[in-house]
Chains A and B, each alone.
Chain A
Amino acid sequence: MLHYTMRRILAMIPVLFIVSVIVFMIVHLTPGNPAFLILGEDSSPEAVEQLEQQLGLDQPKVIQYFDWLKNIFIGDLGQSIYSEESVTQIISERIGPTFSLMIISILLTLIIAIPIAIFIVWKRNTFLDPLFLSGSLLGTSIPEFWLALLLVLGFGVSIPIFPVAGYIPLTDGFLSWIHHLLLPSIVLAAVEVGLIARMLRDSMLESVNQDYTKTARGKGVKERKVLMKHVFSNALIPTTTVVGVTIAGLLGGTVIIETIFTIPGIGQLLIDSIHRRDYPVIQGVILFIAFIYVLINLLVDLLYAFLDPRIRYD
């Protein structure tokens, strides 16, 4: 198990290295120059040149890349061209809202998706099943931004139960924290619920008529217990994969949702930095997101081994 874990962790390094090369190239090949942006529309060429020098942007790209890479190994992602704060500092300030949003929406997703899937499998031969299928298809097909605007209009403006925008950190009180995040989380969850519930239902249906479930029923075990103990736990493996991918995907989804609800998270930070050509911040954020993505995949793999002894013993 330890060997397996180590191997998986080591495998992260080349992935992150490739990401770093790609990120650096894309960021620096994009036209636009932070010096022009800082100095404004009436800047003189001399001032631009001087500022470029000051920011180290006049160095050859390869040298800039290796400087950056070298510093990453000592945990230094550089500093923002604008605020001169360190990138790690900036990311740590902005990660709270994004993680909050992700945690609440993934909890919401599981709370809704798991019971629904179990219920549908229990009532598998009724009209509820096709109804569920079309419902989940609808859920995954709804564009997030559209649902967000609709919910804001409904529960923010017409019936003002929730604030239409903004974010309150958890440290300022649990109630206002969740009050501000519930609407955006519902939007994110709505898309994922359909996917996860559907996945869980399909995997459960596969084992509903397996020999071991038949045996259990033959022994006189109640259907409810059969579903929970034999069917549900066997369906967890494929579902875990989907949940893992979903969590990672939420990082992308939050970009749009953070903009609509003006939540000052990583997604907004990324967009702002791109508009400003704040190279160190763009690079740092993308690398960070890639790291989280890889990390979640690693955790999912390790979780398999935990959930299914067969994988552990390989």
Chain B
Amino acid sequence: MRIKHTLQLFTILILSLVLVACGNESTSDETGEGNGERKEEQTGGTLDVAYASEPDTLDIMGNASSPTRDIAWHIFETLVALDKDFAVKPMIAEDYSISDDQKVYTVNIREDVKFHDGSTVTAEDVLASLERWRLVSSVGKTASENIEEAIVVDDLTVEITLNQVYNGFLDDIAAPKTGLAIIPKEIAEEAGEKPLTPDQLIGTGPYQFENWERGKEIVLTKFDEYSQREEDWGGLTGKKEAILDQINFLIVKDPQVKLNGLKTDLYDYAQNIPTDLYEAIEATPNTNPVTYINGYSMLIPDKSEPPFDDLKVRQALNYALDKEEIAQSTYGNEEFYEMDGALFDPTQTELYSAEATDSYLATDKEKAKELLAESDYNGESVTIMYSNNNEAYKRISQVVQQQLEEVGFVVELEPYEWATYLEKWQDARNWDIVTIGYSTRFSPNELGFLVQDTGSSGWYNSERWSELMKKWGVATTSEERQEILTEMNQTVSEELPFLKVANETTLDIMSDEIQEYDAWIGPRFWNTRKN
């Protein structure tokens, strides 16, 4: 008898499961209607963003990773910020002036700029933020060496005096990664060198931090008291209107899930899609690809040890490589790479110089063999190390291996997962060449792969480069800067501290419900509408 009951129970359970499945079909229909209503309002709504990797922290001052930047730049703002052409424009500052000797910067803060906790930005807050920035930011540490003192003139005016002429100062405080974000004084002092905790995430941006459920989502909501600028400058400044009520950054790692989620309206925007899927996306209705520049890929030889401490071997390396072939077989679609030997992207008009990049595409296998014969290289194994979390680095390394072996190098590939890679990178004994990419940078100071005598630059030591960096600091006019940039290209071209492969373009996808979206260099959702 009992068993009979059990069987009946099973049947009921199965039936109820089926009912549940059907019942939910109608619930999702209702949400569909909800979206329809929003269509008429044109403002408000929630944006669901499938974001590929969870940031470790949202402390934009201290952490230079892209996930931190992409989410935190909705929350925090800087005194001055980059516009869409990468020029420095005021943001929290009303305006600024530079003294005739170029050492004293006087910054006037806009009136009534509100923090998310309701307080108003004052000169004290700016000063405290500056002090913290000098401690925690890699850019801030460099700038710090040039700062003599910073004082409060009045409630809304700060005066920063430099100990020498250093024209990179404004670029440094405006850096999209680890720039001088303004936070309330108490928080800046309380946090000190430690990363900001979630309840310390108080900025002045159009969106405020609401909630972070680790492993699942980061929620930002519209900041009602946001003090908006009106200029149409783009980038990270000018008019930044919070039209959407809420932005959910959902952590979604699998690209196929992102694509499926976008197709089924689960997400409105999905970040970091493998470029292989480009054609599939173009063929999908209601889905649009979004592309933007994302720095470039490169090979960095270890210049502290044989064989690549010898310039001849580095030249042989450069002549041995057919970069067009490497890029073609790595990125495939021409939409996603560009062959350009400059240090900066062509869209960065103030920083771009195409002069003196002759060695970039100088393929000559015979010359490579000759140089190799002249050098001390005698067939020892060359280790190319890369991180296997990125498909592009893997493919580049494989093609490079093949091309180098053609001219007589003996090459070994060593892939590691990212954490192991980072540790191995700092010890010259582990590698001879690394394959890596650097995201778009906005000043020569930020080129981490050229910072003297560090693991990241493969222990690059060059008086010539250091001189140029000093000159860059004191250059005032556009023409002077262009000249220095050309000399920088020349130096890189001759000394070969790193070998650029190709400019990279990143692919995101968005639903066609998103309106007026401007890609720039990463996902930013102010001034963005959703139907």
Instruction: Give A residues with C-beta under 8 Å from B.
Output: 30-34, 36-38, 40-45, 48, 82-85, 90, 93-94, 107-108, 111, 114-115, 149, 152-153, 156-157, 160-167, 175-176, 178-179, 182, 228-229, 232, 259-262, 264, 268-269, 272, 275-277
Contact = CB atoms under 8 A, between A and B. Distances in A.
A31 B264 contact: no
B20 A178 contact: yes
Contact of B260 (A107, A111, A156, A269): A156
B419 A33 contact: yes
A42 B261 contact: no
B24 A179 contact: yes
Interface in B435-481: 436, 448, 451, 454, 456
Interface in B56-73: 56-57, 63-65
Nearest to A45: B426
Given A33-B423, A41-B425, A175-B20, 17 more contacts: A32-B419, A32-B420, A36-B419, A38-B63, A40-B64, A40-B138, A90-B214, A93-B214, A152-B257, A157-B260, A162-B21, A164-B260, A167-B216, A232-B3, A259-B254, A262-B254, A264-B214
Contacts of A36: 419, 422-423, 426
A288 B496 CA distance: 51
Contacts of B63: 38, 40
Nearest to B68: A40
Contacts, number: 140
Contact of B56 (A44, A153, A167, A276): A276
Contacts of A176: 24, 27
Interface in B329-349: none
B257 A164 contact: yes
B424 interface: yes
Nearest to A261: B257
10 contacts: A31-B416, A31-B419, A31-B424, A32-B419, A41-B425, A94-B215, A152-B260, A157-B260, A164-B264, A178-B20
Contact of B266 (A45, A165, A269): A165
Contact of A165 (B215, B260, B454): B260
Contacts of A175: 20, 23-24, 27
Contacts of A275: 417-419
B54 A272 contact: yes
B13 interface: yes
Contacts of A40: 63-65, 138
Interface residues on B, range: 35 or more
A19 B23 CA distance: 45
B253 interface: yes
A172 B197 CA distance: 27
Contacts of A42: 64, 138, 448, 451, 454, 456
B64 A182 contact: no
A84 B56 contact: no
A163 B23 CA distance: 14
Contact of A111 (B13, B214, B250): B13
B264 to A, nearest CB: 5
Given A42-B451, A156-B264, A157-B263, A111 B424 contact: no
Given A164-B266, A276-B419, A262 B257 contact: yes
A82 B264 contact: no
Interface in B245-260: 250-254, 256-257, 260
Contact of B419 (A37, A94, A156, A264): A37
B423 A262 contact: no
A111 B8 CA distance: 11
Contacts of B25: 161
A81 to B, nearest CB: 9
A101 to B, nearest CB: 14
Q: Which 8 A-B pairs have the closest CB atoms?
A: A32-B419, A228-B3, A264-B216, A42-B448, A264-B215, A179-B24, A164-B260, A36-B422
Contacts of A149: 256
A264 B218 CA distance: 13
A90 B195 CA distance: 19
A261 to B, nearest CB: 8
B299 to A, nearest CB: 15
Interface in B1-43: 3-4, 7, 10, 13-14, 17, 20-21, 23-25, 27-28
B422 A32 contact: yes
Nearest to A42: B448
Nearest to B252: A262
Contacts of B417: 32, 275
B35 to A, nearest CB: 15
A262 B64 contact: no
B176 to A, nearest CB: 14
A93 B214 CA distance: 9
Contacts of A261: 257
B20 A157 contact: no
B280 to A, nearest CB: 12
B57 A82 contact: yes
B222 to A, nearest CB: 22
A111 B14 contact: yes
Contacts of B28: 160
A163 B265 CA distance: 9
A111 B10 contact: yes
Nearest to A84: B197
Given A36-B419, A167-B216, A259-B253, A82 B56 contact: yes
Contacts of A157: 260, 263-264
Contacts of B257: 152, 164-165, 260-262
A165 B252 contact: yes
Interface string B339-379: 00000000000000000000000000000000000000000
B56 A37 contact: yes
B279 interface: no
A52 B480 CA distance: 43
Nearest to A94: B215
A42 B21 CA distance: 51
Contact of A182 (B17, B27, B215): B17
